[in-house]
Amino acid sequence: MRYAENLTKDGSVIDLQKLEQDIKSIKGIGEKRAEEVMVIIERHYYNKYSR
């Protein structure tokens, strides 16, 4: 996990709405692509915490 090495160490929660806004602000990423990325992130997030 080269991008998220320290995410689990401090126990903080990711704001998914803010994350979605940040993804949409990347040049070249449109609404549809941002939604596709968020679906993947949410799937992994909810699979991890629903156990």
pTM for the model = 0.66
Q: How does pLDDT run across 1-51, given as a tens digit for each residue?
A: 566 666 666 666 778 889 999 999 999 999 999 999 999 988 887 776 665
Q: Which of 43, 3, 42, 46 is nearest to 19 (CA)?
A: 42
The ranges assigned to domains in the chain are: 16-49
Q: Which residue has the tokens 């929660």?
A: 13
pLDDT at 10: 64
Q: Which of 6, 10, 4, 9 is nearest to 44 (CA)?
A: 4
pLDDT at 39: 93
pLDDT at 47: 79
